[in-house]
Every structure is written in structure tokens, then in C-alpha cells.
Structure 1
Amino acid sequence: MRTTPTPSKARSKQIPRSTEPTDAIALLTDDHEKVKAMFEQYEGLGDRAHATKQKLAFQICNELMKHATAEEEIFYPAVREAVKGADDMVDEATVEHASAKNLIAQIVSMEPTDDLYDAKVKVLGELIEHHVGEEEGEMFPKARKAKLDLMALGEQLQARKDEIELPRRMD
């Protein structure tokens, strides 16, 4: 018999699966935590861990592209429609995504030995940390209060994320 972990443990230890319905905010928060952990892992790598850095940076970029694309196509429009006065908040989040995507394209097209590679990964992490703080502190509470169908949105988000795969090189 399978036991279900408590919600706090489930969020930190389990990655949502497309076959299990997941609340949209829980899914997005899980993504945030997963990427944060990957950035922390990257920061701990030595100066000569080039192959590991490149592999991890690609995983970070891939996860961020899946997350951002699904959010822009599914979650943000739902928030814009359901939350009164959400236009500025959603517009700002969309611009932050565009900045992140620009850095992602640069990182994926580079070699880990190139000048500014580590700096670009670090700046991407800082941008994402800021973005996550705004989403979790402002957007998610407003979305929850708006009584969106977060389970249906979660299923749509996961299905869309499952369709997306970042090409190895974007140049």
C-alpha cells in the first residue's frame, strides 16, 4: 500500500507526475524549489567542473523554459482574467520571463569555458530568485483567492510542460 506524504514533505521531495493531478500553484512552487536547488548545486561546483557545469546549466535552462512557457500560455492568462487589476503584475512577470529566456539562449549556445558563462548562470539565478519571490508573494496568493480551478490548471500546466524540450544548442 502506498502512503501519501504530508503536504509539506510532498512538495519538497516529490516531483509531480503528469498522471497525478496537481494544484497549479503547488506544481509551480515545486518547479521553483527544484530549480533553486539546481542553482545552489551549480554554485558549489569547482572552477574546473566544466562538463558537470554544462550539463547542470542545460538542465536548469530546460526546466526554466518548460516552466516559463507553460506559465505564459496557461497560468498567466487565467490569472489575468480572474484577478482584478492583475495586468501590471502579469506584464512584469512576462517581461522577467523574456529576460530569462534571453539569458537561457545565451547560456545554451555557449561553452562552459567561455568568458562570462558562470556570470550568466549566476545572473539567471538572481533573476529567477527575484521573479519567484514576486510570484509566490503576490501572484499566487491572489490567484488562490480568486478561486481559480487550480487542479484543472495544474493538469494543463503539467501536460504542456511534458510537451516541451529545449534543443541542446540554440544558436
Structure 2
Amino acid sequence: MDITQLILDDHHEQRRLFAILEQIDRRETAVLSVIWDRLAAFLELHAQAEEEIFYPALLQAGIAARRAGGVEEETLDAIHDHNEIRDAIAEVARHRAGTDDWYTAVAAANSANSDHMAEEEREGLTDFRRLAELPRRHRLAVAFAAYEARNYAGVEPVDKDPAGYVRTAEQKLRAAASGSLSVGTLKRT
């Protein structure tokens, strides 16, 4: 198991659910609503799991490989994208399923998510496969799968300041490297 593959699998499922929405008759508002609700919760959970597990590990690997600038920029961009996706999800919630405004908002969410996934697949995931050995990617995959399973009912959407996120993650990494955190913390992820 590899965290980069789990993330790719999630991306596939997100694309599949957006495609399903496009194929449902607009008069089937109850069906549109439940499929959207599932997708919205999944998008939120996926972003949060990446923020909790993947991006701190990407930062750690990049810093260790003396590529901090590149992974910091990728992480800043990813957190910004996650905020845009959260905002797009909130916009969909403002409209009744099946209306023109609802479809416009869903299309905007799909666009924001698609742009993020493409960039992440091209950059963050590729970099992490190059920087982190498979045993580490496996441990992170286990943590990622467990996080998504524990939070299957969804997470509270919270926008984050991208620079603050990176700063906090790097502070935790420095603390772990200096040994001030207990065994089993970020130092081993």
C-alpha cells in the first residue's frame, strides 16, 4: 500500500462522482442531493486527510532532501486549492439541487477540484514518490486509510491560512527532529 496510490484512488472516485452527477436527470433532485452530499463530504474528508498526513510528510521529505522551497510552494498551493474547493462546496449548498445555479456551482467545484488534482498528481505525488521510500509511503497509507475510515461521516470544513499551515507544520517537524516530541510522532511518519 502506498499513500500516493490511495490519494490517486480518491481522485478517481471524485471524478467518478462528478461524472455521475452529470448523468442524472435534473428533475431527480433527491438523487442529485444525496450524490452531491456524499461527494461534498468526501472532498472535505480527502482534503483534511491530506492536510493531516500527506502534506506534513511531503514537507518533511523535501526538507530532508534539501528541496524545501519546492515542496513549500507545492504545499502552499495545495492548501490554497483546498480552501477554494471548500468555498465552492459551500456555494453549492446555497442552491436547490437541479437548478441552473446549482449546476453552475457544481461545475465550479468540479473545476477547482480538477485543477487541484491535476497539479497534485503532476507535482506533489510525483515528488513524494521520488523523495520517500516505499516503507514510509506504506506507513503513511495506513494512517491515511485509518483517518478516512475514522471520519467516514465527514469532517468540519475549515479554511486554513496556507502560510500559517506551512509554518506550523515546519515547527512541528523541527520539534520532532530535536526530540522534543514523544516517540511515534512526526519523526517516524
Scaled by the length of structure 1, the TM-score of the pair is 0.79
**CA offsets 1:21-78 (integer angstroms, 9 cap, x no match):** x310110000000110110111112221211111111111111111100001110011
Q: Contact 1:61/1:108 (CA < 8 Å) preserved in 2? A: no
Aligned counterparts of 1:120 and 1:40: Cα–Cα separation in 2 = 15
Among all aligned residue pairs of Structure 1 and Structure 2, give the percentage whose two residues are the same amino acid.
25
Structure 2's unaligned 5+ residue stretches are 156-189
The one of 103, 112, 117 aligned to 2:102: 117
The one of 87, 112, 130 aligned to 1:102: 87
Deviation at 1:113, TM superposition (A): 4.9
**CA offsets 1:95-125 (integer angstroms, 9 cap, x no match):** 0001111222333454315562111111111
Aligned counterparts of 1:107 and 1:157: Cα–Cα separation in 2 = 27
Aligned counterparts of 1:110 and 1:162: Cα–Cα separation in 2 = 29
Q: CA RMSD in A?
A: 1.6
Structure 1 runs (4+) greater than 4 angstroms displaced: none
Paired positions, count: 146
Q: Contact 1:80/1:90 (CA < 8 Å) preserved in 2? A: yes
Distance 1:32 1:78, change over 3 A: same
The one of 56, 60, 66 aligned to 2:35: 56
Which protein has the bigger helix share?
Answer: 2
In the alignment, structure 1 residue 45 sits paired with structure 2 residue 32: no
Scaled by the length of structure 2, the TM-score of the pair is 0.72
Structure 1's unaligned 5+ residue stretches are 1-21
The one of 137, 141, 148 aligned to 1:161: 148
- Residue 46 of structure 1 aligns to a residue whose secondary structure is coil
**CA offsets 1:122-142 (integer angstroms, 9 cap, x no match):** 111111111111111111110
Q: Contact 1:58/1:108 (CA < 8 Å) preserved in 2? A: no
Aligned counterparts of 1:109 and 1:158: Cα–Cα separation in 2 = 31
Aligned counterparts of 1:101 and 1:146: Cα–Cα separation in 2 = 29
